Amino acid sequence: MGLADLARQQQSKPNVSSDLRGIPLSNAQLNRMIGNFGGLAATTKLAAKYLDYFNNNSSKPMQNETTTGLMQHFAALKYLTTAARSGPEDFIARMTPVSDGNGSLQELADKLKEANDDPQKLQAALAEVGGLPSDADELFQMMKTLRFNPKQLGETLRQKQGLPKADAQQLGDLAEKAEEFLKNLELEQGSRIKAATHALDSGQQIIDPAGFAEAYVEVLHGEKRFSTLMLNLLEKHEPKMLPLVISQVKQTLGDEIRLDQERRSADTIKLEAIYSELSLLHISNTALERISRLVEGLNRVFGLTATAA
């Protein structure tokens, strides 16, 4: 598809207004973001640090300057907001890092019931939850009956994890604080957040979606010249994957060009210019084979990784 086709599609697409609470994000997108940038346990723990910051004026969680660091904090704040909006009981469930997440205390209790009478299995399910006994048998005795009473289970987990006993009004205030913090973060880093989100949406077939998102953000919003694109991609992906990665970058750019202005991470002129340069970039199989052999040779001689990371 050429730029003229992309432009026509973009012009004919109805304008979709942006979520007033910030960058719109579906549950599937948030789960994908969490899964690729640290996982649920790390996200929940970072959300708990923001909870302590908002409620107790503790130190603000430190954020590194990488795209991965940015997205981890963005996901944690979104997750905290969603948890706070879910109500007092479900808030405890969502802030308890168990397997693939919990929507309610009942769901959490049901997951713990699946351990049956196996202390090791129950311990594995609660491995990331803070404040609980480290001994499997002691933990099993604690949870043996609690898992059949969701409300008592929630209160125990709240106390053990040091979570606040908050009513709906207090959780609403917490959600507003998190949303205000998110609003400021998006004002400063919105372009990078949008670009990384678009890259994750389209780059799931890539072996390292987070690395693809890092490279895509660098292509669009990094300080380096476009001529360093190949080096950036080589740092994140094996040489033999470059045709797929470059094709995916083009697809992501095309998807962005078709979006309304509020959802794009850059203006159409910049997006189209990068799309055009990539369209002129042809990498022969022979060149890729030479690059691959060079990297493998360096790996044998110097012990470097296969991706030159």
pLDDT of residue 121: 93
Q: Quick one: which of 28, 210, 193, 178 has its CA closest to 91?
A: 178
Q: In percent, how much of the chain has pLDDT > 70?
A: 78
Give me the mean pLDDT over the 240-244 stretch: 73
Contact 7, 64 (CB under 8 A): no
The share of the chain scoring above pLDDT 90, in percent, equals 53
- Residue matched to tokens 């660098």: 218
How many residues appear in the chain? 309
The more confident residue out of 240 and 44 is 44
Of the listed ranges 1-10, 37-46, 237-246, the least confidently predicted one is: 1-10
Q: Which two tokens stand for residue 295?
A: 């990297």
CA angle 73-247-308, nearest 5°?
Answer: 65
Which tokens in the block code for residue 29? 């997108």
Region of residue 85 (left: phi > 0; alpha: psi -120 to 50; beta: else): alpha
Q: Give the ranges where 133-259 is alpha helix by DSSP (H).
A: 136-146, 150-161, 168-202, 209-221, 229-236, 242-258
CB atoms within 10 A of CB 278: 16
pLDDT per position as a tens digit, 209-224:
888 898 889 888 876 5
The confidence band for 24, taking pLDDT boundaries of 50, 70 and 90, is: confident
Residue 263 has which token pair? 């959802």
Nearest to 217 by CA among 70, 29, 72, 67: 67
Q: Is the pLDDT of residue 248 over 60?
A: yes
pLDDT, greater one: 249 or 291:
249
Asked whether residue 225 carries a pLDDT value surpassing 60, the answer given is: no
For residue 233, name the pLDDT band (cuts at 50, 70, 90). Answer: low
Amino acid at 187: L
Is residue 200 scored above 70 in pLDDT? Answer: yes
Instruction: Give the least confident one: 17-26, 102-111, 189-198.
Output: 17-26
Q: What is the mean predicted confidence (pLDDT) over 24-38?
A: 88
What is the DSSP code (8-state) at residue 227? G
Report CA-CA distances (Å) from 216 to 3, 196, 291. Answer: 19, 7, 21
Q: pTM of this prediction? A: 0.80
Q: Which residue has the higher pLDDT, 270 or 234?
A: 270
For the chain, what are the domain ranges?
3-16+190-302, 27-174
Checking if the pLDDT of 20 tops 70, the result is no
